[in-house]
Amino acid sequence: MGSMGVDVERTTVNPWPWSVGFGFNQGEVVSGQSRTLFCAGQGATDAGGRPVHEGDMAAQVELSVANLEAVLAAAGMSLSDVVRLTVYTTDVDVLLEHYGVLTGRLRAAGVATAMTLLGVQRLAFPSMLVELEATAVA
């Protein structure tokens, strides 16, 4: 069930079990959906859209998740409704050192999503180290 109380059935697709140990599923089948939210990439920006926490991956991951939660909440959803998450980072190795910040928040929400992690040359603002793009269904 999604956070809106609508009957949404989520079935995980994991032909190989290894990804579950990393906190994500290979796929998710969603049936009975009533609403789908496609979120723009969320990074470590303040309410005015200015980047913050330059050089601090842990703080950027934390704020990126908080900003994603704000978008979800504005649509009447929460992290528990996220079915797909794409993580973009300018430094995969440093992000992996702080990966628990992200997976911990997802676990606390009771969700493992289909997920992709991509290393990119740069993001919208040169000081951004991470950006989260999500799809949620409720």
Complete DSSP assignment for the chain: --TTS---EEEEE-SSTHHHHTTEESEEEEES---EEEPPPB-SB-TTS-B-STT-HHHHHHHHHHHHHHHHHHTT--GGGEEEEEEEES-HHHHHHTHHHHHHHHHHTT--EEEEEEE-S--SSTT--EEEEEEEE-
- Structural domains of the chain in order of their starting residue, each with its CATH number: 9-137 (3.30.1330.40)
- pLDDT digits (tens), the chain, 138 positions: 445 456 778 788 888 788 888 788 788 788 886 789 889 899 999 999 999 999 999 999 999 999 999 999 999 999 999 999 999 999 999 999 999 999 999 999 999 899 999 999 999 999 999 999 999 998
